[in-house]
Amino acid sequence: MYARPWQRVNDFYLNIVRANLSLPLLFGAQTLVVDHNDTGIAALSGSSELESVASEDRSGRWARTTFKIILSYHGGSFDGWQKQPGLNTVQSIVEGSLGKFVDEKKTQLLKDKGLPIEGCAIVAGRTDKGVTGLQQVCSFYTWKKDVKPRDIEDAINHAAPGKLRVISVSEVSRVFHPNFSAKWRRYLYIFPLTNGGYTDQSSDNGEFYDSFKYNEIHDSASKDELENEKKSYAFSISKVNRLLRKLEGKLLSYKMFARDTKASRNDGPPTECFVYHARAMEVKLPATDHGEETNVMCVELVANRFLRKMVRVLVATSIREAAAGAEDDALIKLMDATCRRATAPPAPPDGLCLVDVGYTEFEPQKCFILIE
């Protein structure tokens, strides 16, 4: 079994969180460097938004101030976003840091209930343990006066230095909701390639292949899922790209690509997702302290929403189908499957990061992977 250098992926994400590296630089000249101050994740703190609040009688709910917080955190340093007893989660640290900004009425209410004095952070999308958030968006509101964005930034930055960093804090309209206001989310999955990878010399474009064993790419496959998957395979990155591109511009049900949710249900959130962008390409992670670059496959996915573990299942399934020589529409056909065992178990969380969340219309030219 080939050993995947996942630690190098973890280190790469950690360096981005610490602002030592920039994600767009990974993709070279073919990528436009996105200025997030005026595009996808722009804060809804323009004058028109704030004026709509200021013009109202600021009493009751209107008297509160809402802040939009953009965070960067290293997935390998936390037990996921969602607060859970006894676990080191991003939400628990952020909300603990916001406690000093809670208004007096809520503070007294929490004290009366014997609860810790914490703020409430609403997030654009919860990430699992091991998944990095590069520009996660959350909001916090308070009736306390004279709370400044810089105060919030400093409080959170002191909570877990080197692992959690505030990118920006801005005052926004009270109608802003990190999740419901979002028009799209962008994820990136970095899959490290092994020394078993090789260039097909018979191919005109020098197509890169990588060898793997099926059960190597999954973190939680059951025995019966893997019992017939012991042999080694080789997959083409350009084939993975062709498989993924078939998803673009389509509204499809991804229930077969979700995990930890009911495969068939009559209530709850819908399973349809509109994928704007789905591409894969080979890049190199920057040299380590030992001077070694790492070949990786990057998968970039942009959609209006994502189901639980959907990105990781899509990555693993596209690799499996590429190795099997499936038709380019193989992922589309799997949408009609009746059992989730038709899709692959999720790839490890180490390679996944939430890149950003968009509150304006999606612009394809701002994506990282622009190859056809």
Q: Helices in the chain by DSSP H: which ranges?
A: 6-17, 47-54, 90-97, 104-112, 149-157, 223-226, 237-245, 310-323, 330-334
Q: Which of 89, 82, 130, 163 is nearest to 351 (CA)?
A: 130
Half-sphere exposure of 24 (CA within 13 A, CB side): 12
User: Would you state the structure tokens that stand for residue 226, as one six-digit string?
Assistant: 């893997």
Q: Give the Cα separation of 81 and 125 in Å (integer).
A: 9
Amino acid identity for residue 197 in this structure: G
Cα–Cα distance, 140 to 152 (Å, whole number) = 10
325 vs 321: CA distance, rounded Å: 6
11 counts as catalytic: no
In the chain the first and final C-alpha atoms are separated, in Å, by: 32
Q: Which of 35, 38, 112, 128 is catalytic?
A: 128
In degrees and rounded to multiples of 5, residue 213 shows phi and psi of -100, 135
**Helices 149-157, 90-97: inter-axial angle, 10-degree rounding:** 130
Tally of residues, the chain? 372
243 forms beta bridges with none
Q: Give catalytic residues, as residue numbers.
A: 128
